[in-house]
Structure 1
Amino acid sequence: MNSVQDTIYNWLTIKVVIDHRPEDTAANETVLWFENTLQEKFGISDYHYKKSGGWYIVTYKNEESVNEFRFPEDMIEVMLNQILQNPDHYRNYPS
């Protein structure tokens, strides 16, 4: 990942999947990878999101300041919607 915004976008896309499918092994492993990247590459370990008015709002803190990114709901939920519409293509394979 080349930027904080790209990494947070990808983390959030997978995090939303986990919120609907907590047993999804691949999604859990992927979100951990993005969380590790946020911490190791960008020094970010304090972050959270909320959904409000058609937007996902991610607030994060690094060593210097508190920042925020906003992503449209439909942009973040693309993966989740694809999984929900085609569950046979996205089966969980426990490790």
Structure 2
Amino acid sequence: MRLEDALFNWLQIQLVAEERPEDRAAADTRDFFLEILTDDHGVTNLLVHKTDDTMIHLKYDKDGRTKLQMYPREAAEQLLTDINQNPKYN
């Protein structure tokens, strides 16, 4: 899995896990993507650094450098929106 894809997948499920702390599957999935990021890509200190009207900024360390990756907020929040709109999950 490409680094950018793993970061985006982690971000989407991180937003779900934050919003739904009782959702064990969300937390497990978040941890799975974090494991991919750390083991396969050498990412450490990953966090959501900033959220503005249009973008979500991730900050992380890789290869001894601090990196910043931005994703469109609407795309990142889409999984949470889909889950919240499906009564089966509420």
TM-score by length of 2: 0.91
Which one-letter code corresponds to 2:67 in the other structure? N
Counterpart in 1 of 2:9?
A: 10
Q: Distance in 2 between matches of 1:66 and 1:8?
A: 14
Deviation at 1:19, TM superposition (A): 1.1
- Which structure has more relative contact order (CA 8 Å, sep 6+)? It is 1
TM-score by length of 1: 0.86
Deviation at 1:64, TM superposition (A): 3.1
- Once the two structures are overlaid, the 10-residue window that deviates more, 8-17 or 46-55, is 46-55
Cα deviation code 1:30-51 (max 9, x no counterpart): 0010111111011112111121
Q: Identity over aligned residues, as a percent?
A: 30
Counterpart in 2 of 1:69?
A: 69
Unaligned runs of 5+ in 2: none
Counterpart in 2 of 1:82?
A: 82
Unaligned runs of 5+ in 1: none
Aligned length: 89
Q: Which has the higher strand share?
A: 2
